[in-house]
Chains A and B, each alone.
Chain A
Amino acid sequence: MTTTQDSPKTERSVPKPVFTDAEAGAQVFPDSTLRHYNYYKPQKRKQSHYEDVTVDVQPDPRHYLSQGWLYGFSDGRGGYPLDWTALKAWGSDKPSPERGPGTGGLFVKDWPATGWHEFRDPNEEWELTLYRYNSNVVRQVTQNVEAAKQSKAFEQWNTNWVRFVEHHIGAWMHVDHGLGLYLYANANRRAPTNMHNNAISVNSMHRIRSAQDLALYNLTLSEEIEGFDGSAHLDTWNNDPAWQGVRDVAEQLTGIDDWCEAIFAANIVFEPLVGELFRSQLVQQAAPRNGDFVTPTVVGAAEYDFAERDLRYSTAMFELLTNDKEFADHNKAILSDWMANWTTKSLEAARKLQPLWSQPDAKPPRFEDGLDRVKNRFSGIVTSLGLEVPKELAQ
């Protein structure tokens, strides 16, 4: 009989667990039960998870930033200047505390010092929510398109509808992409609080994702439908007169310097009057009549982004400004000017799209009826903000 002997085991060098009893509640001492962020006031009775991960991450010299901004542009201005928008929230005209030798921090006791800090995103977006939401969208869109492929759904499309999708559904991806990057993502550097900028950056991702949803849908259609021209959308966007109005306005929107005007013009005026007109009053109405149950699910995802989330934070943001205790009238006057300007431009763009309504074999409801609907909805949005419906809407 042989015996085996364990070879001497060399102990690996690893950190050893140590019982430290550093658990909440292990001892009682000053602050031992103060387990909430004590530097901000919640919007409601209790601090929300969203507020905890968002509020005050971006500092403000009017609050605790006693040494001020440390790096500036070449003109010596740092941080997030309030005059990057013409709109004002209460306290905006009050200068930052003048600190210097021996002044101490001059911390504002009665916070917030400006109305800007009252804004909370009603969607309560932070990383957990935004990835959960957008993952659900891309999964659902992918599954819908996949199911359509399996069931040969695209074979039901008539030729005219194929042409409509390749040209016009494709053209809208450029609007989403251009605004997503150069309006929304751009604006995430501009607003004075973290709550604004995070909401705007999430909005940006909705639009960029939606653009990519349409582009990848277009790629699938190129593979599934014989003769589908996957590049037709480029010519439409570049040359089709029906789209040049939309393109003109989209480019003007990306040229806005004032971040509030950019969000207002895009989300309060352009999207309700042009975006929803195209998506809800044209595509969603025409597609089923032409045998297409797939496109509405792709476009519907973008419609939900806007109608249920992006519009929601935008109205919350502008409601605060039109009801501001110090600058309501100032803000309303500026917003009314912006609204008149962008309503005119948006309606011109909308009317140029009218030829699209006659292109599918099975026609959607009349263009004028669709336009009336979006005008009514727009009026409701504007009124809810405490603004007058612009006379330009009658165009």
Chain B
Amino acid sequence: MSRQSVAKAHQKIQELSWEPAYHEPVSQYGTDYTFRKAQKKDPLKQVLRSYFPMQEEKDHRVYGASDGAIRGNMFRQVQERWLEWQKLFLSIIPLPEISAARAMPLLFRTVPNPELHNGQAIQMIDEVRHSTIQQNLKRLYMNNYIDPAGFNSSLRNFQSDYCGTIGRQFAEGFITGDAITAASIYLTIVAETAFTNTLFVAMPAEAAANGDYLLPTVFHSVQSDESRHISNGYATLLMALADEDNHQLLARDLRYAWWNNHRVVDAAIGTFIEYGTKDRRKDRESYAEMWRRWIYDDYYRSYLVPLEKYGLEIPHDLIEESWNQIWNKGYVHEVAQFFATGWLANYWRIDPMTDKDFEWFEYKYPGWYDKYGAWWENYNRLSMPNGHKPIVFEDVDYEYPHRCWTCMVPCLVREDMVMAKVDGQWRTYCHEMCKWTDETAFRPTYQGRQTPNMGKLIGHREWETLYHGWNWADVVSDMGFVRDDGKTMVAQPHLDLNPDKMWTLDHLRKCPPLASPNVLLNEMSDAERTAFAARYVKGGPAGRPAPADA
């Protein structure tokens, strides 16, 4: 269709909507936002007559490339270090995608703009596309990559493992609680507009550098849909801003959504890009540099800041603090180190870092080696079973961290850990902001205002609680992270597939039992707990326990 006919067609389909004359549609989701003064415009202007063939054409390109990759033996050139992390990433991402589809109905009754509903319905089916095309990519990896373990058990793993649980926030946050908080601010304004840049643009570039051109093929195709979703979010945000009563809630939700996305997405994608790559060219961008470009400049300065004049309270302090976490406090490095410490609870293999990696890290993050170098040398030394235990049980100057109750990433920047008794339970938080999210934001009142539709943090948020007191061999068996010989673990702290060099349940059987930090915290006396906290915040960096005289 010509552009003119697209405009006419879009104008025509506006005739489709109608106000109910006899009965109201069902109202199943609540919001504390109001849309009394909202303007009603659909920025998307998408008509299905052109949408379906466009998507089909995109599919042709994706599946053509998939065939080409197999015929051209792409996997002979794929870096295992990279593909292993895809076992985690591709176990997580199909759920957030499909949850975004499920989130769209939350907006039908709460955002009174029939024009926008058309765009939301298209987003819904886009998200079905993303979820299934990503499941399909994983299936292709499983069939063609050397080690299918972890891909073949992917969704079981994701649903029972703590890493999956961290990632699951990036799905459940879209579909529950206040409809606008969830499906608009958290999903479209922050997750899609800010963080899909690193997820679907920066990360695929790194995949290509590691011999995998299928991830960019699929994810750039996915990202080409995101611009439409960003438009949906922007239109809703402008509608919300038109009503001053919403400004307080917008400020709350931007703070929560920004911080949670930073904690979760930067943890995962930062680790994949920095520790999953073999490309150590000095002029290739680090995650910090990518973040500065894609998130700080493109999102914060170009998208968010201009909205300030419309009354949007921008969380400038949190954006700067996120940068501070990444650049000064080594957030990504702390997370990667933790994943590697806890390799035995995972379902992928983590390659040790080499001198070449060290050199690159030191170049990109001056001072890196002094903090993390010795630990990674120990990781390398302890990677093959040789009479010792997995690194988490060995004396490598690393203290197993407590977990953040809100974002569920452990409290890795030790000095930022805070503690509170909430709902009758002592909880640790990785940062004051995560404490605020639990204590203040996700509550039925906010700054004296009734917020009856706000959601709740629920569930067994500390994974270790479930296995408190268990032998590690039983933990790994229970989760099913065992290969088909019944004893070799899916996870390994190296990439050697020689069965003689792989860790088995027999090795784990000899290890000390798993202890839940949160269970232990709640068993402490008040004095012990105070002493624990005082000591914990003096620990780090790189997981080092506080000095004895601290």
Interface residues of A (CB under 8 A from B): 13, 15, 17-27, 29-32, 34-39, 49, 52-54, 56-59, 63-74, 76, 78-79, 99-105, 107, 126-128, 130-132, 134-135, 137-139, 142, 173-174, 177-178, 180-182, 185-189, 194, 197-198, 201-202, 204-205, 208-209, 211-213, 215-216, 218-219, 230-231, 233-234, 237-238, 247-248, 251-252, 254-257
On whether the beta carbons of B121 and A53 are closer than 8 Å, the reply is no
User: B53 contacts A251, CB within 8 Å?
Assistant: no
Q: Do A30 and B108 have beta carbons less than 8 Å apart?
A: no
- 19 A-B pairs, CB-CB below 8 angstroms? A30-B499, A36-B152, A37-B139, A39-B156, A58-B98, A66-B160, A66-B463, A71-B458, A79-B176, A100-B466, A101-B516, A142-B49, A186-B28, A188-B104, A211-B13, A212-B13, A216-B9, A247-B22, A255-B24
Q: Is B356 engaged at the interface, CB distance under 8 Å to the other chain?
A: no
Which residue among B13, B17, B73, B284 has the maximum number of chain A CB atoms within 10 Å of its CB? B13
Q: Is the CB of A252 within 8 A of B15?
A: no
Q: Is the CB of B15 within 8 A of A37?
A: no
| Residues on the B chain within 8 Å of A56, using CB | 155-156, 159
A307 to B361, CA, bound (A): 61
A234 lies within 8 A of B466 (CB): no
CA distance A13 to B209 in the complex (A): 11
Q: In the complex, what residue of chain B is closest to A213 when comparing beta carbons? A: B49
Closest B residue, CB atoms, query A194? B98
Are A35 and B23 within 8 A (Cβ)?
A: no
Residues of chain B with a CB closer than 8 A to A127's CB: 55, 59, 128-130, 132-133
Known A15-B209, A30-B483, A105-B478; judge A128-B63 contact (CB<8 A): yes
- Bound together, the chains give a CA A391 to CA B474 distance in angstroms of 59
Chain A residues contacting B474 (CB-CB under 8 Å) are 104
Q: A26 near B146 (CB under 8 angstroms)?
A: yes
Contacts of A254 in B (CB 8 A): 20, 23, 25-26
Q: Is the CB of A39 within 8 A of B154?
A: yes
Q: B155 contacts A37, CB within 8 Å?
A: yes
Given A22-B146, A34-B152, A65-B160: A185 and B124 interface contact (C-beta under 8 Å) = yes
B48 within 8 A of A: yes
Which residue of chain B has its CB nearest to the CB of A63?
A: B159
- One digit per residue, 1 when the CB lies within 8 angstroms of any chain A CB and 0 when it does not, for chain B 472-501 equals 001100111001110010100000011100
Give the shortest distance, in Å, between B150 (CB) and chain A (any CB).
Answer: 9
A102 touches B467 (CB 8 A): yes
CB atoms of B83 and A22 under 8 A apart: yes
**Smallest beta-carbon distance B254→chain A, Å:** 18
Cβ–Cβ contact A251 & B22, under 8 A? yes
| Of A103, A174, A248, the contact of B466 (CB 8 Å cutoff) | A103
Cβ-defined contact, A135 with B128, below 8 A: no
Q: From B167-175, B193-201, B239-247, B337-345, give the one contacting chain A.
A: B167-175
Residues of A within 8 A of B176 (CB): 69, 71-73, 78-79
Distance between Cα atoms of A252 and B9 in the complex (Å): 29
Task: Given A30-B502, A35-B152, A247-B22, output 11 extra A-B contacts at Cβ < 8 Å.
Answer: A15-B279, A26-B146, A38-B152, A66-B160, A67-B466, A68-B458, A185-B120, A212-B13, A213-B49, A215-B13, A251-B23
User: Which residues on A sit within 8 Å (CB–CB) of B284?
Assistant: 13, 15
Question: What are the 10 closest A-B residue pairs judged by CB atoms, nearest first?
Answer: A30-B483, A39-B156, A64-B159, A15-B209, A31-B149, A53-B135, A68-B459, A177-B16, A127-B129, A71-B172
Mark contacts of B271-303 with chain A using CB atoms, 8 A cut-off: 1 yes-contact digit, 0 otherwise.
Answer: 000000011010110000000000000000000
Question: Which of B308-316, B318-326, B409-417, B447-455 has 4 or more CB atoms under 8 Å from chain A?
Answer: B447-455
Which residues of B lie under 8 Å from residue A212 when comparing CB positions?
A: 13, 16, 47-49
Please tell me if the beta carbons of A219 and B466 are within 8 angstroms of each other in the complex: no
Per-position 1/0 for B138-173, Cβ under 8 A of A: 010011111111001111100110100100110011
Question: Which of B21, B49, B63, B131 has a CB less than 8 Å from the CB of A238?
Answer: B21
B230 located at the interface, meaning its Cβ lies under 8 Å from any Cβ of chain A in the complex: no
Find chain B residues with CB under 8 A from A59 CB: 95, 155, 159, 168
Kindly report which residue of chain A lies nearest to residue B519, judged by CB atoms.
Answer: A101
Complex: chain A residue closest to B277, CB-CB? A15
Contact present for B102 and A189 (CB under 8 Å): yes
Q: A residues within 8 A CB of B153?
A: 37-39
Residue B384 CB within 8 A of the other chain: no
Contact B48 A22 (CB under 8 A): no
Q: B52-72, CB under 8 A of A: which get 1 and which 0?
A: 110110010001000000000
Give complex CA distance A293, B206 in Å: 55
CB distance from A117 to the nearest CB of B (A): 13
Nearest-Cβ distance from residue A165 to partner chain B, whole angstroms: 15
Q: Does B441 sit at the interface, judged by CB under 8 A?
A: no
- CB of A30 within 8 A of CB of B468, answer no
A-B contact number at CB 8 A: 383
Cβ of B77 < 8 Å from any Cβ of A? yes
| Given contacts A67-B461, A104-B478, A135 and B468 within 8 Å (CB-CB) | no
Is B103 in contact with chain A by the CB < 8 A criterion? yes
Are B95 and A57 in touch, CB under 8 angstroms? yes
Give chain A residues whose Cβ lies under 8 Å from the Cβ of B12: 215-216, 218-219, 230
Q: When A67-B466, A104-B470, A127-B129 are in contact, do A29 and B95 touch as well, CB less than 8 Å?
A: no
Cβ contacts under 8 Å, B173 to chain A: 71
* B78 contacts chain A at the CB level, 8 A cutoff: yes
For B475, list chain A residues within 8 Å (CB): 104
Query: Would A20 and B455 be within 8 Å (CB), given that A57-B155, A254-B26 are in contact?
Result: no
Q: Which of B52, B121, B177, B211 contacts A20 (CB 8 A)?
A: B211
- Complex Cα–Cα for A132 and B176 (A): 32
Nearest chain B residue, comparing its CB with the CB of A141? B49
Contact B128 A198 (CB under 8 A): yes
**Roughly how many angstroms separate A56 CA and B24 CA in the complex, as a whole number?**
34
Q: Bound state CA distance, A277 and B454, in angstroms?
A: 45
* B105 near A185: Cβ-Cβ < 8 Å: yes
A54 pairs with B75, CB closer than 8 A: no
Nearest Cβ on chain B to A64's Cβ, whole angstroms: 4
Contact partners of A102 in chain B: CB under 8 A? 465-470
Task: Return chain A residues, CB-CB under 8 Å to B78.
Answer: 20, 22
Q: B208 contacts the other chain (Cβ, under 8 Å)?
A: yes
A101 lies within 8 A of B465 (CB)? yes
Specify which chain A residues have a CB less than 8 angstroms from the CB of B143 in the assembled complex. 24, 35
Say if the beta carbon of B457 comes within 8 Å of chain A.
yes
Chain A's closest residue to B97 (CB) is A57
Question: What are the residues of chain B within 8 A of A205 when measuring CB–CB?
Answer: 48, 121, 125
Query: In whole Å, how far is A39's beta carbon from the nearest beta carbon of chain B?
Result: 4
Task: Identify the closest chain B residue to A73 (Cβ).
Answer: B176
> Which residues of the other chain, B, contact A257 by a CB distance below 8 angstroms?
26, 28
Known interface pairs A24-B144, A35-B143, A216-B12. Does A185 touch B52 (Cβ–Cβ under 8 Å)? no
Residues in A whose Cβ lies below 8 Å from that of B136: 49, 52-53, 126, 128
Determine if B56 and A135 form an interchain contact, defined as CB atoms under 8 angstroms apart: yes
CA distance A213 to B455 in the complex (A): 39
